[in-house]
Amino acid sequence: MKRRRIGALLLAAAAGLALAACAGKTGEGGGAQHAAADGEGADAGARDSVVIAIGEEPETLDPTKGWGHGNSPIVQSTLVRYTAELAFENDLAADYSLSEDGLTWTFTLRDDAYFTDGEQVTASDVAFTLETAKAAQGSVDLTYMESARAQDERTVVITLTRPTSIFLNTLASVGIVPEHAYGEDYGRSPIGSGPYRFVEWRPQEQIVFEANEDYYGGTPAIRRVTIVFMSEDAALAAVQAGQVDVAYSTATLGTAEAEGYHVEAIPSADNRGFTLPMSPDTGETTQNGAPIGNNVTCHREIRQAVAYAIDRQLVADTVLNGFGRPAYSENDGMPWNSPDTAIETDVEYAKQLLADAGWADTDGDGIVEKDGLKAEFSCLYPAGDSVRQAVAMAAAQQVQEIGIRIQVEGVSWDEITRRMFSEAVMMGWGSSSPNETYYLYRSAGAFLEDFYNPEGYQSEKTDAYLEAAMESLTAQEANENWKKVQWDGTEGTGMQGACPWVWIVNLDHVTFVRDGLSIGDQPLHGHGHGLPLIQNLQEWSWTE
């Protein structure tokens, strides 16, 4: 079969971080309220260790079940990885190629990669990992993979059922596990071939990693890493007490003073916006009995009016203390983003949309109504997430001006799961891979409990663009179809179109860093509370 180098294809040009954690239970983490266990502390004189405070504890360290999804898994190696410029480079792969029909990938492995138990990484390990991830049917979507098989010790052949333009993005997030040492408890005590080796996990307290001295990429300068799990307020207190070296914080706390630390505002594709149910309430429920539909947000003019009424720059400047920028879509600034998604704040236009559709304030209470139905609805956010709360409240205040009342309500994630098909939800997404667009808007994903499409957006036209983009073999062809999903000149998912989402802001990831510590050239962060921060951990070092 004739082969050609992947450099000619879409996937090298359309690189980016894979989708991060779904829907985003960001800002929830409680965990340890101490900064560093066993008296390790964050000694500024110890120049080979760090203590990092983050908000969310991972569920597993098993890549086949989601660990590293959207980030580098650090314990395990991946076939390919991202550079800070979001290009692909080889990791375990020494070389790779793709067949002319886009269905067969062939990877040749490097010969100096070993698991931390001394066994060499082989093609069988790669095939086993991918087949296991496919069978798990978790956050790693390999439904389009027909098979992965070891051709010999150094060569693995992966066959797809159809050309899939996001395949390299997926591979860049799937760490390779050892077939000989994989079992049910792997996710709690993993073995890998990455820059760090697992040492200890104390649930709800900390995870400890140490540098892998046999790592083929060289031993990292930071030899010991302790990650502690803290709420936003506790992490800030630990910083101000000098008990941690790095703490992932939030825009609402980013202006706090902390002697001996500086704040790094890391650009991200981590956005905040809310979903708006598109169906009326007819009594229909999901398979699990959750109610579907909302009689207010089902009206297109309501959704669009809300979108046009919000001053996104004002929200970024005030609510986020300048640690962010306006968001107009799920992929602002990416090559597959349609520039038509950017809309201007226009309160008068929003009012006109409502008036033209028959909405009016007939009783003088400041809320427009139509056929006896008031234009009011709830917007849910995960209780304890100060950023989502602040963004939602700012948006609600601005929308009040056009006669729509949004009642902001903080609830648990369990309750959000039950109510998200019938009420608005302040969600968090973020990825520089186009697979996010695919999952957010495909009709087959409507009303599933994976948080992607709870609003129930469905369109045969959009589905056709999505499939065409996924099966494209050139960057230009794929990107043109991704753009048409958002706006094709007459219709689309954008806020000037069907408007299933009201996008508001893209966040900077606000991080307190002890002076004298370099956290390297951080790649663009995807969605996630803290974990994107450590994807380049092997590049960190103390500089003074």
- The CA distance from 469 to 14, in Å, is 12
* CA 430, 431, 434, 439 torsion-angle sign: negative
Other Cβ atoms closer than 10 A to 131: 17
Please say whether the dihedral angle defined by the alpha carbons of residues 34, 36, 40 and 44, taken in this order, is positive or negative.
Answer: negative
Find the angle CA(77)-CA(78)-CA(80) to the nearest 5 degrees. Answer: 135
Q: Which of 125, 123, 130 is nearest to 144 (CA)?
A: 130
Cβ proximity of 268 and 529 under 8 Å: no
- Edge-to-edge, what's the strand order for the sheet holding 93-99? 3-5, 93-99, 104-109, 155-160, 145-152
CA–CA gap between residue 348 and residue 41 (Å, rounded): 56
Q: Which residue has the tokens 């060569």?
A: 155
Q: What is the CA radius of gyration of the chain?
A: 24
Buried b (16+ CB within 10 A) or exposed e, 501-515: bbbbbbbbbbbbbbe
Domain boundaries, given as residue ranges, for the chain: 3-267+508-542, 271-507
CA 520 to CA 225: how far, in whole Å?
Answer: 15
Asked if residue 278 lies in contact with residue 316, where contact means CB atoms within 8 angstroms, the answer is no
pLDDT tens, N- to C-terminus, the chain (544 residues): 333 233 333 333 333 322 222 333 333 333 333 344 443 444 444 589 999 999 888 889 999 988 876 667 899 999 998 776 667 899 999 999 999 999 999 999 999 999 999 999 999 999 999 999 999 887 788 989 999 999 999 999 999 999 998 888 889 889 999 999 999 999 999 999 999 999 999 999 999 999 999 999 999 999 999 999 998 899 999 999 999 999 999 888 999 999 999 999 988 888 999 999 999 999 999 999 999 999 999 999 999 999 999 999 999 999 999 999 999 999 888 888 999 999 999 999 999 999 999 999 999 999 999 999 999 999 999 998 888 999 999 999 999 999 999 999 999 999 999 999 999 999 988 876 788 899 999 999 999 988 999 999 999 999 999 999 999 887 788 899 999 999 999 999 999 999 999 999 999 989 999 999 999 988 777 776 557 888 889 999 999 8
CA angle 372, 378, 384 (to 5 degrees): 165
Q: Answer yes or no: are the C-beta atoms of 122 and 153 closer than 8 Å.
A: yes
Long-range contacts (CB closer than 8 Å, 24 or more residues apart) made by 124-127: 124/150, 124/153, 124/179, 125/176, 125/177, 125/178, 125/179, 126/79, 126/92, 126/150, 126/156, 126/176, 127/156
Strands 93-99 and 324-326, how do they pair?
Answer: unpaired
Q: How many residues does the chain have?
A: 544
Residue type, 200: E
Question: What's the pLDDT at 69?
Answer: 67
pLDDT at 26: 33
- State the greatest distance between any 2 C-alpha atoms of the chain, in Å, as a whole number: 77
Q: What's residue 528's pLDDT? A: 66
Q: Closest Cα to residue 124, out of 88, 91, 151?
A: 151
Q: Which of 133, 176, 134 is nearest to 156 (CA)?
A: 176
User: How far from chain centre, in Å, is Cα 87?
Assistant: 18
Strand pairing partners for 246? 52, 513
Pick the CATH number of 271-507 from 2.60.120.260, 3.10.105.10, 1.10.10.60, 3.30.479.10: 3.10.105.10
Look at the block and give the residue holding tokens 């209470």.
365
Report the C-alpha gap between 88 and 434 in whole angstroms: 15
pLDDT score for 38: 41
What letters, b where the CB count within 10 A reaches 16 and e where it falls short, cover 390-410? bbbbbbbebbeebbbbbebbb
CB atoms within 10 A of CB 282: 10
CATH class of the region 3-267+508-542: alpha beta
Task: Report how far residue 139's alpha carbon sits from residue 197's, in angstroms, rounded to the nearest whole number.
Answer: 23
Q: Distance (Å, rounded) from C-alpha 475 to C-alpha 9? A: 7
